[in-house]
Amino acid sequence: MSKKAPRAALKLHMKNKSEIRIGKNADLMAQLNLLIFLHRLAEESRIKAFEGKTATIKVHHVRAVAKKLLKSTRG
């Protein structure tokens, strides 16, 4: 299993970037959101690569999907 982001560093970064109070598990939620986004990016890039009849996911597949995915995930 891959390593997790250090909680202390993530909490410190979140506190420095905002003036609001942050709950005690907000860093875990941010990490989970990142993992879900990366999983979705990988899945859609794989689909894009198969549409192009390529077995390998290349940079242009990820970039094409990332633009669309970032637009859909904005709040």
> 38 versus 13: which is more confidently predicted?
38
Q: What is the pLDDT of residues 18-58, one digit of tens each?
A: 777 778 888 888 888 888 999 999 999 999 999 989 889 99
Distances (CA, A) of 24 to 32, 34, 56: 14, 18, 40
pTM above 0.85, yes or no: no
The residue behind tokens 């390593």 is 3
Q: How confident is the model at residue 2 (pLDDT cuts 50, 70, 90)?
A: low
As a CATH number, domain 7-16+24-73 is 1.10.20.10
Q: CA-to-CA distance for 6 and 9, rounded, in angstroms?
A: 6
